[in-house]
């Protein structure tokens, strides 16, 4: 990938770590909230009022994707899959519920789900970076030291 300014590999790895931790923590919090505070039945009822198709199933899928996807992104494990699945869920939330509210979250707009989708997709495409489970797995299976690889190959 070409860029006018290229950060050192260590800085890119730290930036990916920070992005993964923040997005992962937000997703985990929302997943836990759906399971414990609001309950799946409560989320299903709210989804039904919003016109979400198959509201109880959708509530269960949303809670699971947010909790498990958040854990995977935070850890940097299976980042390509986790990033794509989280982005897909957020796209569904935007289209079904949030686009009609405009941009701002205060009006039930799409800004939060949009930012989460973009960040998850970016991590999924860029890779999880050096400080991740993905990198640990690749190190053990490739026999090549992480320091000898470019950042782009870490997220393969």
Annotated domain spans of the chain: 10-154
Residue 156 has pLDDT above 80, yes or no: no
pLDDT of residue 101: 96
Q: What is the pTM of this model?
A: 0.87
Task: Band the pLDDT of 139: cuts 50, 70, 90.
Answer: confident
pLDDT of residue 138: 86
Average pLDDT over the chain reads 91
pLDDT, mean of residues 2-19: 92
Please choose, from the candidates 92, 106, 95, the residue with its C-alpha nearest in 3D space to the C-alpha of residue 62.
92
pLDDT of residue 140: 72
Please check whether residue 40 is in contact with residue 34, taking contact to mean a CB–CB distance below 8 angstroms. Answer: yes
Please check whether residue 80 is in contact with residue 43, taking contact to mean a CB–CB distance below 8 angstroms. Answer: no
Type and span of the H or E element at 13: helix 9-32
pLDDT, mean of residues 129-153: 69
> How far apart (Å, rounded) are the C-alpha atoms in residues 52 and 110?
15
pLDDT tens, residue by residue, 29-51: 999 999 999 999 999 999 999 99
pLDDT, mean of residues 112-140: 95
> How far apart (Å, rounded) are the C-alpha atoms in residues 109 and 48?
18
pLDDT of residue 145: 44
Residue 149 has pLDDT above 70, yes or no: no
């Amino acid at each position: 990938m070409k860029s006018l300014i290229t950060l050192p590999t260590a800085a890119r790895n730290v930036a990916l770590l920070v992005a993964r931790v923040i997005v992962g923590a937000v997703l985990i919090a929302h997943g836990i909230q759906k399971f414990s505070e609001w309950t799946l039945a409560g989320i299903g009822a709210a989804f039904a009022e919003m016109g979400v198709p198959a509201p109880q199933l959708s509530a269960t899928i949303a809670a699971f994707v947010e909790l498990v996807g958040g854990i995977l992104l935070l850890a940097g494990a299976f980042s390509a899959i986790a990033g794509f699945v989280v982005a897909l869920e957020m796209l569904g939330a935007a289209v079904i519920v949030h686009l009609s509210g405009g941009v701002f979250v205060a009006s039930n707009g799409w800004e939060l789900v949009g930012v989460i989708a973009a960040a998850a997709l970016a991590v999924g495409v860029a890779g999880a970076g050096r400080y991740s489970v993905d990198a640990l797995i690749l190190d053990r299976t490739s026999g090549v030291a992480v320091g000898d690889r470019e950042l782009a190959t870490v997220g393969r």
